[in-house]
Amino acid sequence: MYRYTDFDRHFVRARAAQFRDQLQRHLAGELADEDFRPLRLQNGWYVQRHAPMLRVAVPYGELSSRQLRMLARIAREHDHRDAGLPTERGGFGHFSTRQNLQFNWIPLTEAADVMDKLADVDLHGIQTSGNCIRNITTDALAGIAPDEDVDPRPYAEILRQWSTLHPEFAFLPRKFKIAIHGAREDRAAIGWHDIGLQLHRNGAGEVGFRVWVGGGMGRTPVIGTKLADFVPWQLILVYIEAIVRVYNLHGRRDNAYKARIKILVKAEGQRFVDQVNAEFDALQHGDALSGAHVIPQAEFDRVAACFTPPPVLAPGFETADDTDAPLAYRRWLGRNVHMHKVPGYRAVTLSLKRAGLPPGDVTAAQMDGAAALAERFSRGELRVTHDQNLLLPWVQAAELRALWQAAQAGGFATPNIGLLTDMIACPGGDLCALANARSLPIAAAIQERFDDLDRLHDIGDIDLHISGCMNSCGHHHSGHIGILGVDKDGSEWYQVTVGGSDGSTLSGAATPGKVIGPSFAADEVPDVVEALIELYRRERRRGEPFIETARRLGPQAFRAAADAVRRSTALAGAE
Amino acid sequence: MDFIPLHDPIWQRLDGEDGPRPHPAPRPHALLSLEQWHAVRESWPADLPVGMVLPNTADVATVAADLPRWSLVALQFPKWTDGRAYSQARLLRGRHGYTGELRAVGDVLADMLPLLQRTGFSSVQLRADQSIASARRALRFFTGHYQGDVTQPQPLFKRQAA
């Protein structure tokens, strides 16, 4: 993991002190709500349905056990409420699709104290919200995936530092998300980001970036446009500065729904590309500040030295004989354990998708439990995955069985990674003030409907994504099955899409799913999902996952299957 | 950073009853719109200090040739969360070599001061309800930043290497 320097520590402390000053002025009535709002957002503080929500940045998803223990402590000491439904009670955190952690029940009056505690473990909420460059996300298997050409983490860290409190880009037209990976498979959904970066080597072995721009979800789903095939790594800050400057000056600010860079890229087409290239050129020639942000080899080396792999193990490390192992263990090996770049090691997903708990939620006790697993089995390091699980990146193969037993005891061993119940869901209308509908009851009903492991494994790989509104925090556009909460006449309805892709090998080129007819009532949704799954099971060819069958049959077949299980909406449609 | 009162005793806009006068007569410390400037730029005496108010939609590259003639450029924040003027300021200073006074006007909050300073502004007219004391304090929280800016062109990684 990146190791904070004195400068880095001083910096997050300064940020906490600045926020405390702003908060005090706000609480004293000197800083009005509408002026305080953008300031608190850029520190991760939303005001939500019941209380403020704090979004803590987990830079490119890397978390130490020490940091996770502090998050547990914050959950216990600050995130609490005594009444309400179990899903509405405090004392827990929620891992989001952007690899961050959210708390839902911290009183604003305690906000500054929480920021100080976060700073104690090199954490903060800088730019986790607001119209600025957000937390940079990456492949949860960064630095450990066998198919990786270039480890993206040092570049992600350099980008994190460059984008942190950038004075020119703090008030962009809209939020701005960058994702980066360096593998053959895209596990970071880069096509869906404002800027998507893929590290690769050219014929001469030099490292550079393929750059896409203008992807995004929301009301208008758009896949990014490729802008460059090879930007030398030394120039990536300059290149991104050019993109963001063109966006800052020319992006629309008259309509929040048309303010993302994707709209500018679509509207301007080649002119946008020309403007970026002209700005990139101007930055390198004839600019008093030119050259300053060309990354020196020494700086890359300094940062990269933080991301050293563990020592290679002595021969004979993979001794485990699992032929007599119980089915549950073999299933866990098959779903939750991933191959590793370093011989003798495995990556292991701790499933946060289990019956009775919302996807991505962890209680304070579970955070401590996951931290203990990381300390015992993974050099004290964890990753937050973009599908809302935790991952242990440095597990020795010989210790898998012991880890499995410990993970079972902690409730992290559900062998469902990549399966239907490993769904993505935003917090939805239970907690979020933006939501049009609730996500969690839908997720819970589907969890319950598909709780049989034999059936889950028979259905196989599938991405089910649920968002409570068009803001798409639950990535419904990229789900093989996507569910979107919509509000009509004050009640909750759910639009269902089929065939979306995040860009992974399984899912194919990134693309939004297709809507299969008018919205469904909440109580119809589990039946609809089941109908889509049953259609797939009837029609699938040998070895064909859901997404391929979905593409082969097309949305009409799925629409017919879904229509067949309508009840209230069938009656309404007949009127 | 200079704090300028909302009613600037020195720099004056040359407005008639219907907004900016189309052909203002020369006088010192006139603060002109671009339209006014284009109308008078050939006849404006070289020794009269003149300032310009630029809208945040202006492409500053198009006025680069006139910059040496201007003593003041005022950039506008119609809403404080509209960040276009930060880019304009950065370009005026870093690319077009503007060295005169660069002023932030409009919906300017105390909390914007660090950003304004780092993108090259040298003066501000704070919104009426803002406190100069808060604005000065806002400039003191950070002793350094990661990326280079107008006041400190070298990013941290170059400063450390030096």
Interchain CB contact of B157 with A (< 8 Å): yes
Q: How far is it, in rounded angstroms, from Cα A319 to Cα A313?
A: 12
Å between A437 CA and nearest CA of chain B: 29
Nearest residue in chain B measured CA to CA from A171: B83
Å between A258 CA and nearest CA of chain B: 15
Tokens 């004050």 belong to which residue? A490
CATH topology for B2-161 is: TIM Barrel (3.20.20)
CB-CB neighbors (< 8 A) of B147 in chain A? 161-162, 164, 166-167, 237, 293
Are residues A164 and B153, on separate chains, in Cβ contact within 8 Å? Answer: no
ipTM of the modeled complex: 0.98
Mean pLDDT of A546-566: 97
Interchain CB contact of B78 with A (< 8 Å): no
Q: Please say if the pLDDT value at position A110 is more than 50.
A: yes
Q: How confident is the model at residue A309 (pLDDT cuts 50, 70, 90)?
A: confident
- Which of A18, A31, A286 is the closest to B141 by Cβ? A18
Query: Beta strands B30-33 and B12-13: pairing type?
Result: parallel
DSSP A15: H
Q: What is the pLDDT of residue A418?
A: 98
Q: Indicate the domain borders of chain A.
A: 6-120, 147-304, 334-410, 424-574
The mean pLDDT of chain A is: 94
Q: Please say if the pLDDT value at position A22 is more than 70.
A: yes
Nearest residue in chain A measured CA to CA from B141: A14
Query: Beta strands A345-350 and A337-338: pairing type?
Result: antiparallel
Q: How many CB pairs under 8 A join A and B?
A: 116
Are residues B83 and A171, on separate chains, in Cβ contact within 8 Å? Answer: yes
Is domain A147-304 given the CATH code 3.30.413.10 in the classification? yes
Q: What is the pTM of this model?
A: 0.96
Q: What is the pLDDT of residues B20-53, one digit of tens each?
A: 889 999 999 999 999 999 999 999 999 999 999 9
Task: List strands edge to edge, sheet with A178-181.
Answer: A137-138, A178-181, A195-201, A207-213, A225-232
Contact between A533 and A419 under an 8 Å Cβ cutoff? The reply is: no
Q: What is the pLDDT of residue A320?
A: 62
DSSP A133: B
CB-CB neighbors (< 8 A) of A253 in chain B? 82, 84
- Which of A30, A171, A286 is the closest to B81 by Cβ? A171
B84-94 and A236-250 helices, crossing angle to 10°:
130
DSSP A203: T
Q: What is the pLDDT of residue A398?
A: 93
Q: How confident is the model at residue A87 (pLDDT cuts 50, 70, 90)?
A: low
Q: What is the pLDDT of residue A317?
A: 56
- Which of B83, B111, B144 is the closest to A172 by Cβ? B83
Are residues A295 and B119, on separate chains, in Cβ contact within 8 Å? Answer: no
Are residues A161 and B143, on separate chains, in Cβ contact within 8 Å? Answer: no
Q: Please say if the pLDDT value at position A88 is more than 60.
A: no
> Which comes out higher in pLDDT, residue B111 or A324?
B111
Phi (first) and psi of residue A141, to 5 degrees: -100, 20
- Which of A30, A167, A237 is the closest to B149 by Cβ? A167
Nearest residue in chain B measured CA to CA from A283: B95
Q: What is the pLDDT of residue A286?
A: 82
- Which of B83, B94, B156 is the closest to A289 by Cβ? B94
CB-CB neighbors (< 8 A) of B82 in chain A? 171, 253
Q: Which residues, numbered 27 to 46 in chain B, qualify as contacts with chain A under a Cβ-Cβ cut-off of 8 Å?
A: none
Q: How far is it, in rounded angstroms, from Cα B121 to Cα A300?
A: 32
pLDDT-above-90 percentage for chain A: 87
The mean pLDDT of chain B is: 96
CB-CB neighbors (< 8 A) of B106 in chain A? none
Mean pLDDT of A553-566: 97
Å between A7 CA and nearest CA of chain B: 8
Q: Please say if the pLDDT value at position A447 is more than 60.
A: yes
Tokens 């803001």 belong to which residue? A471
Q: What is the CATH class of A424-574? A: alpha beta
Q: What is the pLDDT of residue A319?
A: 57
Contact between A210 and A228 under an 8 Å Cβ cutoff? The reply is: yes
Mean pLDDT of A49-69: 92
Q: Please say if the pLDDT value at position A290 is more than 90.
A: no
CA distances from B142 to A160, A356, B145 (A): 18, 45, 7
Question: Which among A237, A247, A252 has a CA at the least distance from the CA of A276?
Answer: A247
Q: Please say if the pLDDT value at position A85 is more than 70.
A: no
Amino acid, single-letter form, for residue A32: A
Q: Please say if the pLDDT value at position A293 is more than 50.
A: yes
Check if A147-304 and A424-574 are the same fold: yes
Question: Which among A460, A466, A461, A463 has a CA at the least distance from the CA of A444?
Answer: A466
Q: What is the pLDDT of residue A575?
A: 44
Q: How far is it, in rounded angstroms, from Cα B33 to Cα B12?
A: 11
CATH topology for A6-120 is: Sulfite Reductase Hemoprotein; domain 2 (3.90.480)
Interchain CB contact of B55 with A (< 8 Å): no
Interchain CB contact of B64 with A (< 8 Å): no
Least confident of A86-95, B57-66, B110-119, B133-142: A86-95
- The CATH architecture that domain A334-410 belongs to is 2-Layer Sandwich (3.30)
Interchain CB contact of B159 with A (< 8 Å): no
Contact between A444 and A454 under an 8 Å Cβ cutoff? The reply is: no
Q: What is the pLDDT of residue A311?
A: 79
Q: How far is it, in rounded angstroms, from Cα A20 to Cα A34?
A: 17
- Which of B114, B141, B153 is the closest to A292 by Cβ? B153
3-state helix, strand and coil shares in percent for chain A, rounded to the nearest 5: 40, 20, 40
Q: Indicate the domain borders of chain B.
A: 2-161
Amino acid, single-letter form, for residue A30: E
Å between A301 CA and nearest CA of chain B: 11
Q: How confident is the model at residue A43 (pLDDT cuts 50, 70, 90)?
A: very high
Mean pLDDT of A230-251: 98
Q: What is the pLDDT of residue B114?
A: 98
DSSP A311: P
Per the structure block, which two tokens stand in for A554? 């097309």
